[in-house]
Amino acid sequence: MKNPAASALFAHNDQEAEWWYVHGHVSSPDGGLGFHLAFFRHRTDPVRIGGVLPVRWLGPHFRFAHFGVTDWHASQFHFVHRRSFGTDAGASPSEFRVWHGDWSIRDTPAGWRLAASVKCIRLELDLRPQKPLLRFRTSTPENPHADYQSCPRLLVTGRLWRNGREIKTEGEAWLDHEWGRLGLRPDRHGWDWFGLHLDREHELVMYQLRDRHGTRTAQAFAALVEPDGRIVTLPIDTVTATPLAWTRSPRTGIAYPVEWRLSAETPALDLHVSSRIPCHEVDTRGSTCVIYWESPVTCAGRLRGQPIAGRGFTELTGYDHRPDRSGIFNFERGGLTVTGGLANEWRFLSHKNGITHTPAAWPVFKAP
């Protein structure tokens, strides 16, 4: 084992589901990029076609991957997703290596190496942990069979290619890893998640699960990571996440928050968080079959009475109120549905090389 922290990121292939997720920002002379790369695994054992034919005949795991890049210079968001039942995708239980085709994250002597591409952009980045791998949450009464861990600050160096031109780059990133039984309860409709790099080597993580009426449930968490790696858990009953502005997708009609106020009493925190380009809908019909929001953000405000600023990512799910829109795979009910499957297949194949959003068609307004 080359990197002592890497063993905690090995695959748990005996568990029902698992994912690895990296988001970050890198610089370049013409403005830089925001990026997120995610790998997903789900066992096929409980899934049947029409409730009858076992999907495990195709292979032991569904494997999916998502990659998105925000190009500040071009004001564009590029996204592509992949799926596989075969050996062209996998995750090792004996080393930190997860891959899907030519996309990968793997262990190296100095840290971890990330490689992925979409449209005219390719990244090859070295990720060096700056803080220990942290376990923010283990099992809870509402989600008793899951483990969640993060490396909240990674130093990034490497290369990016834009339209074939190679550029040296540097920046920062965040890595999350979760495994276990990960589905939502029937009375949970989605979540709001924030991972922020703040000034003076602080990081903030906050998430809340919402019910179908949009009300925050008891399953919520917020923590501040101090410069020395200590976790300060914020009393969740003093933490608020309030949408301030929204946008509406011209493709699906779904409305998403694009500006937020995050506040807490202990420690005193007040942040304004906003998406840098309001066009970050991610449509994964045909792979993970969720339509969600994954956006780089900037933030500014005060922490413990002192001015503070930063940047990071936000992930929002459950804002689509048409469950019929997605579902070739229905993991929660242990089935693979045929209805809607052909439409999803056509959508997946037609966007196999990726899709690009620009903000011109995404209006920003104060209420949905």
Q: How many domains does the chain have?
A: 1
Position 165 scores a pLDDT of 92
State residue 68's pLDDT score: 97
pLDDT for the residue numbered 330: 45
Q: At 29, is the secondary structure helix, strand, or coil?
A: coil
Residue 3 lies in a domain: no
Domain hosting 278: range is 9-365
Contact 58, 38 (CB under 8 A): no
| Residue 153 · residue 277 · CB < 8 Å | no
pLDDT of amino acid 323: 61
DSSP reduced 3-state for 201: helix
Is 324 strand, coil or helix? helix
Q: Please report whether residue 4 resides in a domain.
A: no
**Is residue 361 in some structural domain?**
yes
Q: Tell me the mean pLDDT per 10 residues along the chain, length 368.
A: 68 91 93 95 70 62 93 94 88 96 94 95 96 73 73 96 94 95 75 96 94 83 94 94 96 95 96 95 86 97 98 95 56 47 65 85 88
Longest dimension (CA), the chain: 60
> What is the three-class DSSP state of 91?
strand
d(CA 151, CA 130): 8
Q: Does residue 110 fall inside a structural domain? A: yes
Q: What does the pLDDT read at residue 52?
A: 58
Q: Is residue 2 part of a domain?
A: no
Report the CATH number at residue 108: 2.40.370.10
What is the spatial distance between Cα 198 and Cα 41, in angstroms, rounded to a whole number? 31
Flag whether 1 is in a domain.
no
Q: What is the pLDDT of residue 145?
A: 66
- Residue-level pLDDT at 2: 47
Q: What is the pTM of this model?
A: 0.91
- 335 within some domain: yes
**What is the rounded CA–CA span in Å between residue 103 and residue 89?**
9
Secondary structure letter of residue 184 according to DSSP:
P
Closest CA to 312 of 171, 199, 197: 197
